[in-house]
Amino acid sequence: MTATTDGGPGAPAPQAPSASTTSAPHPVHVGGAEAAAERAAQRAAAHLLAAQHPDGWWKGDLETNVTMDSEDLLLRQFLGIQDERTTQAAARWIRSLQRDDGSWPTFHSGPGDLSATIEAYVALRLAGDTPEAPHMANASAWVREAGGVVGARVFTRIWLALFGWWRWEDLPELPPEIIYLPKWFPLNIYAFGCWARQTIVPLTVVAAHRPVRPAPFGISELHKDPAQPNPPRPPAPLASWDGLFQRLDRALHLYRKVGVRPLRRTALKACARWIIERQEDDGCWGGIQPPAVYSVIALHLLGYELDHPVVRAGLDSLDRFAVWPDEDTRMIEACQSPVWDTCLATIALADAGVATDHPALVKAVDWMLDEQITKPGDWSVQRPGLQPGGWAFEFHNDNYPDIDDTAEVVLALLRVQHPDPGRVDAAVERAVRWNVGMQSKNGAWGAFDADNTSAFPNRLPFCDFGEVIDPPSADVTAHVVEMLASLGLEDDTHTRRGIDWLLAEQEDNGAWFGRWGVNYIYGTGSAVPALVAAGLPVTHPAVRRAVSWLQSVQNQDGGWGEDLRSYSDQEWIGRGVSTASQTAWALLALLSAGERDSEAVERGVRWLVDTQKTDGSWDEPYFTGTGFPRDFSINYHLYRMVFPLTALGRYARDEPLGVIGNVTKGKAAG
């Protein structure tokens, strides 16, 4: 776990390194690359095997940013359940990530973020840090220089409103009556992505109550002009979408004053039922922290006491998101990724040559089979006749299995010789049928829902942070295509439509956009292996363009890296400090494209070998996972293990992809 940027907290963000096409080439170690890769893979496999839980799963820490820790402390303050040890442990973690300029970033080596800095500042104030302390004075000065509280995102200002630091009247209106909108209506709750709807429904309850629990201090030092903290903004042109939704928000504020009270009361009850029905067995909601936090607040405002079983289970689930790097420091995970980590670890170990009937792999398959979801969830609103059969990302999230995990779990199951092949066959058949049924109209796949593509939710003034819809993406589509091809279904109509969509989505430079990983290296590292597995020859123009792009952005040291700023600044596309996971993604694409003996591959393999630690792992402080492009970034701590091991294993073994294991090809065709 890394708590500082390079050179210490607040060090300037690194410049994008030069690619090999514009700088002197890294000297290539001629000969012995296969043996070195094999030794590195063996060390990595031993390290990964040792990290397996006795129950069969793997889970690495999921590191995001200090808003998770800050909001956890704010929640405890709001509910009156704070305790000194938790508060001080969280404060230590928050302080450790502050930059020298006083701000907090949202990813390693990233620039300061206004909302994250405001939330960190008020959390530290709650922990007892004084405004006069040097690190706090630096933070407040940075906030004022960056525009003050008025420039923060809506979610940050909602947290401030809970404590009287911001006026509820100055926030966008979100009425609970939205729960009644039919699914054909553009702004019904199922028009939002699953993570957004799980957050929005409880937030409508919070916004309806507009609670204020006055804080023990003010935050005037965070306003650019304390006398006028929220100056009036000029209206957007009426003919624009922004102007239309601004006026809709004004109408909703008026509705709050004149609306039918009985309708509001029944809507709040309907929201409460919706929330409670979606609570998971472990007490959480959706397996992610933000909906759980807001659901607890909403239910409490509706009269559910803190010792009520639903609320108590929710609070207990939040404690399970805590990671203690040491006994005095506490970090909050936004989510936990055991299914994702386990299927990727299984693929990595199998591709590195671990016996397909190894007890660790069999145990992992047993655990994954037990995690398959066999009951309908919110996805069935769009696909009411589809039988369930997917996997979720987390330990408990039966309402929201996802297409990406399901595809990768199947690819993992195909690699293992399980003593009960019939059980595996049945699970794969259910999974493939569900994934195929979740294909969107355009031939591609999103993460959680089918055809979740309405442009309207993103226009709401309320939705100024992160993605709120779940359109198809190249990386998810590629994983499904690869899964179908591995089952001998490369000529199936569903597969061919996915291939056509992928080919149409290739960028002019030869890369693919990465929705759930950073960024074009991830998208390209997903798309090329899938297309080749599905039958595209390595001489296909799309494959050759991808190869040329990857070669052009290889770093001088032989690795690959891409900064998160590539989502908003084209200068960063394919550029950044070399990382183990991104180097592996590039290698997986190049290997599948027939480039095993190329200089680029040998240099990339050598980079992985040379940067491996003696215990078989790699350091990777940089964030290479994506929650929301541009807004929410993730450092999956197991990525630094599973992807390098997969790449080294495939290089050392020099075997074709698509190991079928004990599942009959074509049997799962839907």
Active site residues: 404
Rounded to whole angstroms, the Cα distance separating 154 from 172 reads 8
Q: What are phi and psi of 104, to 5 degrees?
A: -120, 135
- Number of CB atoms found within 10 A of residue 79's CB: 15
Provide the token pair at 274.
């919706």
CB 457 within 8 A of CB 192: yes
Which residue in the block uniquely carries the two structure tokens 């430079």?
509
CA 347 to chain centre: 20
Provide the token pair at 184.
């054909």
Return all residues near 457 (Cβ < 8 A) that are at least 6 apart.
Answer: 187, 191, 192, 196, 463, 468, 469
Q: What are phi and psi of 617, to 5 degrees?
A: -100, 180
Rounded to whole angstroms, the Cα distance separating 187 from 194 reads 14
DSSP designation for 572: G
The pairing of beta strand 322-326 with beta strand 62-63:
unpaired
Rounded to whole angstroms, the Cα distance separating 348 from 416 reads 12
CB 152 within 8 A of CB 229: no
CB 663 within 8 A of CB 489: no
Provide the token pair at 126.
């709650």
Rounded to whole angstroms, the Cα distance separating 47 from 30 reads 28
Rounded to whole angstroms, the Cα distance separating 663 from 428 reads 8
Provide the token pair at 477.
């589509």
> Mutual orientation of helices 289-301 and 194-209 as an angle, nearest 10°?
30
State whether residue 405 is helix, strand or coil. Answer: helix
In DSSP terms, which residues pair with 625 in a beta bridge?
517, 634
* Lateral strand order in the sheet of 62-63: 62-63, 632-636, 625-628
The pairing of beta strand 329-332 with beta strand 625-628:
unpaired
Provide the token pair at 199.
């957050």
Rounded to whole angstroms, the Cα distance separating 14 from 9 reads 13
Which residue in the block uniquely carries the two structure tokens 């004004």?
250
Rounded to whole angstroms, the Cα distance separating 372 from 368 reads 7
Torsion angle of the four alpha carbons 311, 315, 316, 320, in this order, in degrees rounded to the nearest 10: 140
Q: What are phi and psi of 467, to 5 degrees?
A: -75, 140
Provide the token pair at 542.
């799309």
Rounded to whole angstroms, the Cα distance separating 487 from 667 reads 8
